[in-house]
Chain A
């Protein structure tokens, strides 16, 4: 004999077998070929008996036997209501989320593409490499730099840009060069005293190299390149090359 329990306690529902809602009043049941919002009873189900409760919210009003303190689904207006209003509400929130996502993507893309393409780090490395190759290439010092006695030639220093195929000046008038390059030569015996020094370009950029602040990209970009070089007379030199590229406006916002 079926136990009549009118509460929505899950274990009881299994026993009462009432998970299928009753037809509303006036509903004549299923006809062949007509899809219905109300599910068909499975085979073997004998339908609702009087007094049994279902999950159909309108029927819940008529359920009997609930004790005080037991929560029921009385507050819900009906499955039809949930589908219509709930779906519309969901679409509004869905589009609100889409708009938020779109605004986020637009802001991110603008912040990414809005910034100038900063190539100063690469440029300063190329400049430093080019100066290094000009001074010492293929295991030998530039013959224009070292004289027959093994000393450094001052005319190389005077025509450094021309000898190393560099053009640091820009065509615009009253504009300082956006570059600075220097090469320091230290002999093996004394690494603290400079034996030979070459510098070209705008020296004002040099102060930017030692600054460590948050807005570092608004300053010039520096690159240091150190290497050892040996002359034909077996004298060893430490050569430190510092290259700096300004071009702040072209590479930052």
Chain B
């Protein structure tokens, strides 16, 4: 091969390898930031803090679109990703996964996926006083 051809091939290989390297790096960063375990941990704690701050008769519309994207990939129905039972918030985004976090607010919480228009990927949390 002539010199011009060699130079061209070498430069193209060099560029392709560089681009490949950068793509792998970016994909790694994106995957790390949107991992199921990480989201489960963060969202279970955030929802627990929301419930701790809530008062009876309040209603919170919670955007869980990020969780929906991951749960759809893992084959978990959106209606199953958030459970609130016995003062624990449980977020489950994969078959084997699931993270729970305790909240101290002694309040009755009902959670269900929103059916309102324009609220796809939203959950509704309603709060009421526990009847003794």
Contact = CB atoms under 8 A, between A and B. Distances in A.
Contacts of A37: 3
Contact of B49 (A102, A123, A161, A250): A123
B52 A123 contact: yes
Contact of A165 (B28, B86, B88, B106): B106
A166 B104 contact: yes
> Size class of A's contact patch?
20 to 34
Nearest to A126: B52
B104 A117 contact: no
A122 B101 CA distance: 14
B35 interface: yes
A105 B105 contact: no
A244 B22 CA distance: 45
Interface in B2-16: 3-4, 10, 14
Given A166-B104, A167-B105, A171-B86, A109 B32 contact: yes
B102 A126 contact: no
B60 interface: no
Contacts of B4: 35
B87 A105 contact: no
Please classify how large the interface on chain B is, using the bins under 10, 10 to 19, 20 to 34, 35 or more: 35 or more
B61 to A, nearest CB: 20
Interface in A103-153: 105-106, 109-110, 113, 116-117, 119, 122-123, 126-127, 130
Contacts of A171: 86-88
A7 B34 CA distance: 64
A166 B14 contact: no
A247 interface: yes
A165 B107 contact: yes
A87 to B, nearest CB: 7
A121 to B, nearest CB: 11
Contacts of B35: 113
A116 B41 CA distance: 8
Interface of A: 35, 37, 87, 91, 95, 98, 102, 105-106, 109-110, 113, 116-117, 119, 122-123, 126-127, 130, 161-162, 165-168, 170-171, 178-179, 247, 250
Interface of B: 3-4, 10, 14, 17-18, 21, 24-25, 28-29, 32-33, 35, 38, 41-42, 45-46, 48-49, 52-53, 56, 86-88, 101-102, 104-107, 129-130, 132
Closest 6 CB pairs of A and B: A167-B106, A119-B45, A165-B106, A126-B52, A117-B42, A109-B32
